[in-house]
Amino acid sequence: MPNAAAPSGLSNQEQLADRFDGRAQRLRRQAHAFLWIIILVLIAGAIGFVFANRIATLDLKRHSAADQYAAALAAQKQINDQIEATQKRIGEIVNTAPIAKPFNDDLNSIKDEIVALEDKEVGSCRSITQTTKRSDINSAYNPSVRPTPERLGEYGISLPTRELYFSDQDAASDCSSKINARVQEFRTFFRRTQDIQRERDKKVSEFGESKQK
């Protein structure tokens, strides 16, 4: 029964994703805090604008209801314009999708290649009872045969994008050997993925910093 060690791969994948998510969350919190500060300042300014003349002259009766209403409308329009401009600014800060998209497209293309390589070997494996696919790539996969408590009496092996379950231990071992023979090819895919993720995160970080200046 093969007992291959888990190939090295994207050791920093989860950390990079966490850093990226954390940066986006911080930018959103800062942007929304900035918006509320502006709103409060503008409201205070509008109140001062409406009542400035009356405060200066201490003559509250000189201003008609129409004058007050017109002044309030003007102040409200100014507030709305500022809120709209601030919301647009927030959208520019947090919307990193256009920057990340070409890199994510490349990552999806690599994942398709990994899936195709797995399909090529899994197609000749015997006694498979269950296939559970992943949405992400498990670079720390272990193709060694293991008992499966989640499926009693069966055996499982891990692949980069799926888990396989077998009714026969020998069949699981044969399939594990096929996957192990492709270790170097999988590692090449993982290194390419690492390079693309690093470059993507760098560009997104630079974009976020430029919007904060």
Could you list the pLDDT tens digit for every one of the 213 residues in the chain? 444 444 444 445 555 556 666 666 676 676 767 677 777 777 776 666 655 555 555 554 555 666 666 776 677 777 777 777 666 665 555 577 888 899 999 999 999 999 999 999 999 999 999 999 998 899 889 999 999 999 999 999 999 999 999 999 999 999 999 999 999 999 999 999 999 999 999 998 888 777 666
Torsion of CA 206, 207, 212, 213, to 10 degrees: 70
Does 30 share its domain with 91? Answer: yes
Q: Is 177 found in the same domain as 115?
A: yes
Residue 137 lies in a domain: yes
Q: Are residues 195 and 118 in the same domain?
A: yes
Same domain, 66 and 131: no
The CB density around residue 209, as the number of other CB atoms within 10 Å, is: 10
Relative orientation angle of helices 169-180 and 97-122, to the nearest 10 degrees: 130
**Per-residue confidence (pLDDT) for residue 112, from 0 to 100:** 96
Q: What is the pLDDT of residue 97?
A: 83
Contact (CB, 8 A) for 145 and 169: yes
Residue 95, SS3?
coil
Q: Are residues 158 and 80 in the same domain?
A: no
Helix or strand (DSSP H, E) at 166: strand 162-166
Q: Domain for residue 8, yes or no?
A: no
Q: Are 198 and 129 in the same domain?
A: yes
Q: How many CB atoms lie within 10 A of CB 135?
A: 6
Task: Supply the range of the domain harboring residue 118.
Answer: 98-207
